[in-house]
Chain A
């Protein structure tokens, strides 16, 4: 990397890597977003799509912060997701979003009379 490209480092977008797991009741989506601040992370659902974005700040040596990069990723959701009960947690640079399944899609135990 030349000095020129280092200077251009500001304001570029990264698609964070994702892990998705499924349980009987929910989907768990984890995204690697190191350097983001909790208050800068945006997660919202619109038109059956989950949008995740965050700006990161890099502390420079003199205490002045500048925007280093932006994380962005979106996921189209299947119709079994209950959009009203989404939970998100940011820990150790990893954002974890839990998407619960709708009641009618949950496995049901049928009692035999």
Chain B
């Protein structure tokens, strides 16, 4: 599987190293690093299926949308900012809120009817069974 070059994360690392090298630390900008951004994706493939996991902490089940269309898996979600109650006030806010969407090109055909998804402990897990045609086949030698 091809992993694409991600100039954006390099850019953030660059900024982080500049900020970290200054004499006065500025904690809020520091958190621009990975922490606080949600939607990290991991993809695992085995002979007959692919498992896609997305980190979606604090996202309610009804705010997650998963669809497979024409060989493309689309996952979208929204993390809503909690409302402060009464006299409650912010001291620190490192967590990012908002909309998330990610599309993943599936390099094989998928049995759309059997795709399953579950959302537990802030992780969305999608299991995509491969279509019969896409599964590896053992060819017996006569």
Interface residues of A (CB under 8 A from B): 1, 14-24, 27-28, 30, 32-38, 58-62, 90, 92-94
Contact = CB atoms under 8 A, between A and B. Distances in A.
B125 to A, nearest CB: 7
Contact of B46 (A1, A23, A35, A61): A61
Nearest to B92: A20
Nearest to B50: A61
A1 B4 CA distance: 9
A21 B123 contact: no
A80 to B, nearest CB: 13
B121 A93 contact: yes
Interface of B: 3, 31, 34-36, 38, 42, 44, 46, 49, 51, 53, 55-60, 82, 84-96, 121-123, 125
Main secondary structure of the interface of A (DSSP, over half): strand
Main secondary structure of the interface of B (DSSP, over half): loop
Pick the most buried of A18, A21, A62, A93: most chain B CB atoms within 10 A of its CB: A93
A36 B122 CA distance: 8
A93 B56 contact: yes
Pick the most buried of B60, B89, B93: most chain A CB atoms within 10 A of its CB: B93
B95 A35 contact: no
A21 B91 contact: yes
B46 A33 contact: no
B122 A92 contact: yes
The list of the 10 closest CB pairs from A to B, nearest first, reads: A93-B122, A34-B122, A93-B57, A17-B36, A17-B94, A20-B91, A17-B35, A34-B57, A20-B92, A34-B55
Contact of B58 (A1, A15, A93): A93
Contacts of B55: 34-35, 93
Contact of B86 (A23, A35, A58, A94): A23
A22 B58 contact: no
B58 A92 contact: yes
B49 A61 contact: yes
Nearest to A61: B46
A55 B91 CA distance: 27
